[in-house]
A and B are shown apart, each in its own frame.
Chain A
């Protein structure tokens, strides 16, 4: 029994050293990218350890970077990587929805962002995106419903004015 325990302890020790040395190196890269702004580390982080939270923060940071090309290839790469690590990732669905919107597939985009919204029910960004997509799909009742939901969650949300304007544009009679 002692031999079995020592054998298991050896595996535990070697496994821990290998695992944590990789994790520490990974987390150092995350620190360099997210805190010190070293953009060269982004690709390393995305392709390295499947630790969801820092990978998701890296992906979101890239999306928010004005210099990052937000084309479908990049969006789907990020989306697929996040979904590999966490099949429930709302960011993954949001990014694939963004790609579909670029391609003009508004219904597909709406379905993906709706999925993201199911995992983070009151995220104002997802609600706003859904509202804009509902406008593009000419679904007025859904637009009103989402507008009311956003207003319920945060009456001073900065996007409410934009949505109110969209709604007033929709309600104006078409000139003949």
Chain B
């Protein structure tokens, strides 16, 4: 039942609050994970390396908060509007272990709850696309936002969840396949309605990755990889050849220069605070000192980034060298495990589910590396990470038996 947290987190917004989108979600994460730990036991030491990495991250953030004299509320809650503070981070790490423990017995529930969340998102998103909404959002963005208050997060969420119906396209009877195909296409349609380019790119890359993984242990694997590479190259060439003012269009669609500036700022902040960073979610209090004149002019003089638009750089700047390296190692280990579970013959889940998990993870990481993280996306990412971790562990145990 822990996987029911996924649709709950998707729906958990509170319009009565100034920060309608993250505080309530952070509360639910901490409450749900703490209650789970009270009722059930988790064998953390089964997943030694991850337990060590997470312990290092949390310890160094605690030390960093003391060195940087961070207020206790900012330390526990995180930046207002982001809520990735210490309490949330602890909850997200617990989600990884909880998911790992439950994937063997509840993999169908995980998929079903993800599918349910997607259906809810599609229904609500369709209302928003038609101009109806239950809430009044500030008119900062054009595209639909679902419950994320920002179309970029919505598009990334839809891209991640699109892998679930995609995975069902290759099994089951014809009627079911048609249903899943329609769900997948409906998801693609809503990604366009977010008017956010990153969702489109992420779902395209996820679909190509799924195709490559489909042929992973087949004779046509090399052919599929080369074909995918050629498709992507042709698309990129067409865009460059047939689009006028390509650099302007790319900049408008992906804000490349802006993202590079965010990365430069976070690296500059980390460079001056190498060992312990500036404190968890504290980048916003330092970025104004490192802003370039050109960026300040472009952003109006009053905008100071509170996120690096790259999850790894965020951890380096906020937590320092050890935290950044630990987080990077976590991502690398899970990514490696995501590939390894494709090859395992002793998997508890079907091949389709294993592919879906890998694609969901890589799409989440893709978003994590080029954009700010969002608490609801992080919940899905950590559930997926835990599922991959659990599957890898279980398949290793089976091999040793």
Task: Tell whether B76 is near chain A: CB-to-CB under 8 Å.
Answer: yes
Q: Mark B350-374, 1 if CB is under 8 A from A, else 0.
A: 0000000000000000000000000
> Which of B19-27, B142-150, B161-169, B193-201 is near enough to bind chain A?
B19-27
Q: How far is the CA of A152 from the CA of B292 in the complex (A)?
A: 12
B18 touching A34, Cβ below 8 Å? yes
B23 touching A122, Cβ below 8 Å? no
B301 touching A51, Cβ below 8 Å? no
Task: Tell whether B67 is near chain A: CB-to-CB under 8 Å.
Answer: no
Instruction: Give the Cβ gap from A52 to chain B, nearest Cβ, in Å.
Output: 6
Measured CB to CB, the nearest residue on chain B to A12 is: B34
Q: How far is the CA of A2 from the CA of B87 in the complex (A)?
A: 21
Q: How far is the CA of A91 from the CA of B138 in the complex (A)?
A: 25
Task: Tell whether B302 is near chain A: CB-to-CB under 8 Å.
Answer: yes
> Which of A15-23, A67-75, A102-110, A138-146 is near enough to bind chain B?
A15-23
Q: Which of B22-58 touch A at CB < 8 Å?
A: 23-24, 26-27, 30-31, 33-35, 37-38, 41-42, 44
A51 touching B73, Cβ below 8 Å? yes
A50 touching B285, Cβ below 8 Å? no
Task: Tell whether A170 is near chain B: CB-to-CB under 8 Å.
Answer: no
A31 touching B18, Cβ below 8 Å? yes
Q: Which of B44-103 touch A at CB < 8 Å?
A: 44, 69, 71-74, 76-77, 79-81, 87, 90
Q: Mark B199-215, 1 if CB is under 8 A from A, else 0.
A: 00000000000000000
Task: Tell whether A39 is near chain B: CB-to-CB under 8 Å.
Answer: no
Residues in B with CB closer than 8 Å to A35 are: 18
Q: Which of A3-47 touch B at CB < 8 Å?
A: 5-6, 8-10, 12-13, 15-17, 19-20, 23-24, 27-28, 30-31, 34-35
Among A13, A23, A24, A88, the residue within 8 A (CB) of B286 is A88
Task: Tell whether B157 is near chain A: CB-to-CB under 8 Å.
Answer: no
A9 touching B18, Cβ below 8 Å? no
Q: How far is the CA of A30 from the CA of B125 in the complex (A)?
A: 29
Question: Size of chain B's interface in residues, with CB distance under 8 A?
Answer: 43
6 tightest A-B contacts by CB?
Answer: A122-B296, A13-B34, A9-B37, A120-B288, A16-B30, A20-B27
Task: Tell whether B297 is near chain A: CB-to-CB under 8 Å.
Answer: yes
Residues in B with CB closer than 8 Å to A8 are: 37
Q: Which of A51-109 touch B at CB < 8 Å?
A: 51-54, 84-90
A54 touching B289, Cβ below 8 Å? no
B42 touching A122, Cβ below 8 Å? no
Task: Tell whether A153 is near chain B: CB-to-CB under 8 Å.
Answer: yes
Q: How far is the CA of A87 from the CA of B297 in the complex (A)?
A: 26
Q: How far is the CA of A7 from the CA of B335 in the complex (A)?
A: 33
Q: Which residues of B contact A (CB under 8 A)?
A: 14, 16-19, 23-24, 26-27, 30-31, 33-35, 37-38, 41-42, 44, 69, 71-74, 76-77, 79-81, 87, 90, 284-286, 288-289, 291, 293, 296-297, 301-302, 304
A123 touching B301, Cβ below 8 Å? yes
Most buried by A among B24, B76, B284, B301: B301
Also in contact, A9 and B38, with CB within 8 A (given A27-B18, A31-B18, A153-B301): yes
B74 touching A52, Cβ below 8 Å? yes
A-B contact pairs, 29 of them (CB 8 A): A5-B42, A9-B34, A9-B37, A12-B30, A16-B27, A16-B87, A20-B23, A24-B17, A24-B24, A31-B16, A34-B18, A49-B73, A50-B71, A50-B74, A51-B74, A51-B80, A52-B80, A53-B79, A54-B80, A86-B71, A118-B289, A119-B285, A120-B289, A121-B288, A121-B289, A122-B301, A123-B288, A152-B293, A153-B296
